[in-house]
Structures are given as structure tokens and as C-alpha cells.
Amino acid sequence: MRMRPILCAVCLLFLLAFPARADEMPTGWLLFPGGTYLHEGDYKTGLSFAVPEIALLTIGITNSDRQGKQGDTPEINLPLLFSFQLYAVDKWSYYQKEMLRIKDEHPGVDVGVDPAPLKELMLAPFDPDTMSSPLVIAFALLGAADGLYGYPHNGRRFGEISSATAMRNGMSRDTGTAYYEGMAFAASYGAGLSEELIFRGTMLPLMDYHYGQRTGLISSSLTFGLLHSFNQGTQNREYLVAQATVAGFLFGWQVQEDDYRLKKAIAAHFWYDFVSMTATWFANPAENPLGIQVAFGF
């Protein structure tokens, strides 16, 4: 999971978006969870982001020595991942607010930005109209195909699992499955929301504004794809990078077609990830992307 690259992308894009305000908003406040809101005196919003971000970060750091390994895939430090995903949402919500203000004060600034409330975007994967769009349905089906056939198989399936272990806690097959599905849901939800806000909600429209839609679409898709090479334990990086680049291109094209509305891209990203992770667990649990350790009976 891409935590450090996403953190760097958030900071760089934010600074590029507001170069004129660098003296008004010190970098330290940008880096701090909820800091952009706290800097402005909006303590309610700032703390609503800062408290869970810091709590998850603390849990992730204090439990960093509890992760095991499944094959070549290290167990994902999920609290740390969730902290970085929430951080990205935190910064994008401030970016959205500021960009809408700038566009209102300076009508000539024609940077695309989704004006939908954050709550509406957060519910996008479960909105019936959004879920029924061809893009979302297609990516859910592609997620199933990826989970079933996209990675090498060792011939051991769900029915052969005897136990599972996560963060050194041993579980039965059924309890381990419930844990895996819960964490897969949360990780997929966080990825679908945070990554679309950063890449299709920030990078794409900024690049479109400065260099044109074709360059924006290509550059944001390639960046999105290449960052997937940082995924831990990936055995086939070329496949993953190519897969993510194509997905990023299609997500970006849809966002451009929808006047920079993000709901379909968020929903399609979530359902692709979640369906793929679920299919992998049942078809090929030894290569599950969360790195949860599984033991098989004879």
C-alpha cells in the first residue's frame, strides 16, 4: 500500500495549488493532521481530522513490530495505512474549500473541482445511481477477474485453510475470514476515496488547467500507475503498474467527461479493490494482498 508516496503527492500538489499563499500557510501546518483548518481557527473540523489521524498513526507505530508475513507479502500495517488515507481526505477537503473560494473570487481561474460535499463523496460507493453506472459495474467485474486469475496460484483454496494469523493473533478460518473481509473493505474504501481525491480530484484538474486535458490525463494516469510499484510484496510489478495505469486512465477520462465530478471514479475504484481482494481470499488465500498469514490443513 502506497503510504509515503501518497503523503509526498499530497504535500507537493497542495503547495503547487496554492503557491501564492505559501507565506500565509506555513508548511508545518500543512504537514500536521488537521493543521490547515487549525491554522484558520476552524478547530471543530481540524480536530475531527486530527484526532483519528493521530490515534491511528500512534496505533500503527506502536504495533509496527507485530506484522507477520504471508509468502513474499509483508502484513500491511493497517492502522498506519488508514491514518495516511484519512490524511489525504483531510487535505483534499481543505483544497476543495480553498479552490472553490478562489474560483468564486477569480472567475478566470477555470480549474476543475468537484463541489459536492465530502459526505456525498464518501457515500458514493453505496449510492444506487452511482453503483448502476457502466463504469462501476465494469470495474466490479474486472475486480473479480483480477482476484481469480490475475496472480500466480499455489493450488490452495479457501476450503483448505485451517487457521489465520493477523498481528500475531491466531484465528479460526471463519474468524480470520471475517477479519480479512472487514479490513479489505476498510482498505478498499480508504483507497477508493483518498486516491481518487488526490489523483483525479487534484492532480488531474491541475494538470489539465496548466497543460491541457490530454497531458493531464496521461500524466496523472502514469503517476498513479507507477506509484503502485511501491506496493509491498508485489510479485508481478509490471502487471500491477500496467493495470493501475489503465484504470487511472479510465477513471480520469470519466472524471473529465463528468465535469470533474468524482463519484463514479470513487465507486469504481472501491468496488474493484474490494471485489478483487475478496476473490483472492477465496480462490488463492496464500497470496492475499493484506499479508494475513494462513495455514492449510492436510
**In this predicted structure, what is the pLDDT of residue 157?**
87
**pLDDT confidence bin for 6, thresholds 50/70/90:** low
With 70 as the cut, is the pLDDT of residue 225 above it?
Answer: yes
124-147 pLDDT, tens per residue?
999 999 999 999 999 999 999 999
175-204 pLDDT, tens per residue?
999 999 999 999 999 999 999 999 999 999
Please state the pTM of the whole predicted model: 0.91
With 70 as the cut, is the pLDDT of residue 3 above it?
Answer: no
State the average pLDDT over residues 143-163: 86
Kindly report the three-state secondary structure assignment for every residue of the chain: CCCHHHHHHHHHHHHHHCHHHCCCCCHHHHHCCCHHHHHHCCHHHHHHHHHHHHHHHHHHHHCCCCCCEECCEECCCHHHHHHHHHHHHHHHHHHHHHHHHHHHHCCCCCCCCCCCCHHHHHCHHHCHHHHCCHHHHHHHHHHHHHHHHCCCCCCCCHHHEEEEEECCEEEEHHHHHHHHHHHHHHHHHHHHHHHHHHHHHHHHHHHHHHHCHHHHHHHHHHHHHHHHHHCCCCCCHHHHHHHHHHHHHHHHHHHHHCCCCCHHHHHHHHHHHHHHHHHHHHHCHHHCCCCCEEEECC
State the average pLDDT over residues 118-128: 97
Residues of the chain above pLDDT 70, percent: 88
Round the average pLDDT of the chain to a whole number and report it. 88
- Looking at per-residue pLDDT, the higher value among 17 and 92 belongs to 92
